[in-house]
Amino acid sequence: MGLLRRYESEIYGNYKKGWLLYGLYTGLIMCFSILLRYWLTYPMDSPSTWVDNIVLFLCMFIFTYLYRKKLYCGNIFFKEIYILNLGVGVVAAIIYALFVWYYGSCVDVEFLQRYIDAQEHIYLNNWQGTTEDMNMMIENIKTLTTVPYLSIMGGILTVVTSLIVAFIVAILLRTQKNVVRQKK
């Protein structure tokens, strides 16, 4: 069964420390981008936006590059970068979700209503069923959507996005290819 390859690779750096440090920085930068957009009169209407995904990508790319520069000879495998960025994504998602909760509860109290209005607009434009079903769906959204729900949803979307972004960053920044382990 040669479908799966097993690689022999060593981990060069302390990526667990990088999870906490770079994850904290990434989460704080994502939180600052939310506040900056709010101050520039472009408030959030969704728990995760393209701007947040771009900020996540840039942070992962920059912090992985800084992590790689600290290593001996800059040697780093795909696997180490991917594991590093998965941890960074999870820590950043936790911080991001907590901040979205704070943001929706204290900073921008209209965030919840903007989200409901945006979902209602999507249903009105794309609904293929009866109007009674559509009205029932809109009522369900209005009653079930809360700020804690949106913050958890934002955290989960950030984790899922970090899976994809970590893969892309690992492909771009690896410096060594893994050696395939020989069968014994």
Q: Which of 11, 15, 171, 156 is nearest to 90 (CA)?
A: 156
Residue 1 pLDDT: 44
Of the pLDDT bands very low, low, confident and very high (cuts 50, 70, 90), residue 88 is very high
Distance CA 143, CA 48 (A): 21
Residue 74 pLDDT: 73
Mean of all residue pLDDT scores within the chain: 85
Distance CA 92, CA 27 (A): 4
Of the pLDDT bands very low, low, confident and very high (cuts 50, 70, 90), residue 7 is very low
Torsion angle, alpha carbons of 145, 118, 128, 131, to 10: 70
- Mean pLDDT for the stretch of residues 94-99: 96
* Tens digit of each residue's pLDDT (9 = 90 or more) over 145-155: 889 999 999 99
- Mean pLDDT for the stretch of residues 28-47: 91
**Residue 38 vs residue 136, higher pLDDT:** 38
Query: Is the pLDDT assigned to residue 182 strictly greater than 80?
Result: no
* Tens digit of each residue's pLDDT (9 = 90 or more) over 38-59: 999 888 888 888 999 999 999 9
* Tens digit of each residue's pLDDT (9 = 90 or more) over 102-127: 999 999 889 888 888 888 888 777 77
Distance CA 92, CA 129 (A): 39
Residue pair 26/54 in contact by the 8 Å Cβ criterion: no
Query: Is the pLDDT assigned to residue 15 strictly greater than 80?
Result: no
